[in-house]
Structure 1
Amino acid sequence: MARSLLCRGVGVFQLSRAVPQLSAARYCSHTEPEPLTVRQQSSGIRRIILNNPKKRNALSLSMLESLRENILTDADCDDLRVIVISAKGPVFSSGHDLKELTSSQGREHH
């Protein structure tokens, strides 16, 4: 008889009896992905933190959109005096995510 393992609705995998006991935690991630940017605000100072150190905070299109959203949110608020952009990890940013640059999308896309 086969055993079933369900991982957060991703799918059902059949495991034969020959396979030793498996822990779902070893094979399935149960954590939500971390946001690309983190916004904190206190005493008129908004801090936006680039939060993708595994990719050296590369400026992918999704990172740029998240950054834009964090900058523009309540930008006209009287309490906001300054926006500081910093980064998590050893580098601020490696620049644009070159893996996104493809000839099929053209220059206008980027």
Structure 2
Amino acid sequence: MTTTATRAPAPTTASPLRREDADGVALLVLDRPGARNALSDAMLAALADTLAAIAQDRSVRAVMLAAEGPAFCAGHDLKEMTAHRADPDRGRAYFADLLGRCATVMQAIVALPQPAIAAVNGIATAAGCQLVASCDLAIAADDARFGTPGVSIGLFCSTPMVALSRAVAAKHAMEMLLTGDLIGAEEALRFGLVNRLVPAGQERAEALALARRIAEKSAVAIRYGKAAFYKQRELPLAEAYHYAAEVMTENMLARDAEEGIGAFVAKRPPVWER
């Protein structure tokens, strides 16, 4: 694959999110290291806009999320949230809107046509753990830590629970949510929250290598498969098989399936639709 690198145009003001594209992979870097990459209003807005653009970008075949500084993401910006307690409604409208915007971003990751891979360093807590759980795949540093510590400050991590409970077994999720304890990378791997561990400092390179391997596959097949994966697992068994058969039939009629099968029979490399 020919290497081409582009960088998104520099914004007029410092952005909390940086995007770099190369080899069909969009690298999104959370860039608020001084705030442990907390999901501020500006960060959520940048993520929402960038994910919407990527979803329409046929040149992007995989997405990778990483972070600058010693932490992946510490969750919501509690200082921003606390400031709204002075609102006439004690922040009710702001909190509801904030959590809705965060949920929209998490769902946008799941709905992306392209696979999303988290490269986790340091800590990923509360909505930061939710961000990892929302990604399709995750590579973590062997010293990374994960948690939903809201209960320790009187705020149950109810919205992070949605993604977490879909990524790990129920009893593991409940233990994390009820205790608020941080778990280490080995436990996160055992729980199924991450795919693999690497020595600290190598998580971004490992995630990028995985993203590039995926980017070499048929983007058409990946789009069919990712969407079908999330839909079928919410269906009863018989309905899931019926739905999956419909998807596979449509996929079989796509040009890339014809090309891929023909290339396999002819013992030549396939040329995928771009």
Scaled by the length of structure 2, the TM-score of the pair is: 0.27
> Pick from 35, 56, 61: which aligns with 2:41?
61
Q: Could you tell me whether the CA contact under 8 Å between 1:71 and 1:83 is conserved in 2?
A: no
Tell me the CA shift for residue 34 of structure 1: 2.9
Tell me the CA shift for residue 49 of structure 1: 0.3
Look at both structures and tell me which one has the larger radius of gyration over its CA atoms: 1
Counterpart residue type for residue 108 of structure 1:
A
Tell me the CA shift for residue 70 of structure 1: 1.5
> Pick from 10, 14, 26: which aligns with 1:34?
14
Distance 2:13 2:47 in 1: 17
Question: Does 2:92 correspond to 1:92?
Answer: no
Counterpart residue type for residue 81 of structure 1:
R
Q: Could you tell me whether the CA contact under 8 Å between 1:53 and 1:89 is conserved in 2?
A: yes
Distance 1:63 1:44 in 2: 24
Distance 1:41 1:74 in 2: 10
| Deviation beyond 4 Å, 4+ runs, structure 1 | none
Q: Which digits, 9 at most, give the CA deviation of each residue in 1:29-84, with x for residues without a partner?
A: xxx75321100111210000001101110101111101111211142222211111
Q: What's the counterpart of residue 72 of structure 1?
A: 52
- Give the number of equivalent residue pairs: 79
Distance 2:36 2:96 in 1: 25
Unmatched tracts of structure 1, length 5 or more: 1-31
Counterpart residue type for residue 52 of structure 2:
L
Structure whose residues are more often strand by fraction:
1
Unmatched tracts of structure 2, length 5 or more: 1-11, 99-274
Q: What's the counterpart of residue 43 of structure 1?
A: 23
Distance 2:33 2:80 in 1: 18
Q: CA RMSD in A?
A: 1.7
Question: Does 2:108 correspond to 1:108?
Answer: no
Distance 2:18 2:74 in 1: 18
Distance 2:27 2:54 in 1: 13
Scaled by the length of structure 1, the TM-score of the pair is: 0.64
Q: Percent identity?
A: 30
Judging changes above 3 Å, is the alpha-carbon distance between structure 1 residues 77 and 93 closer, same or farther for their aligned structure 2 residues?
A: same
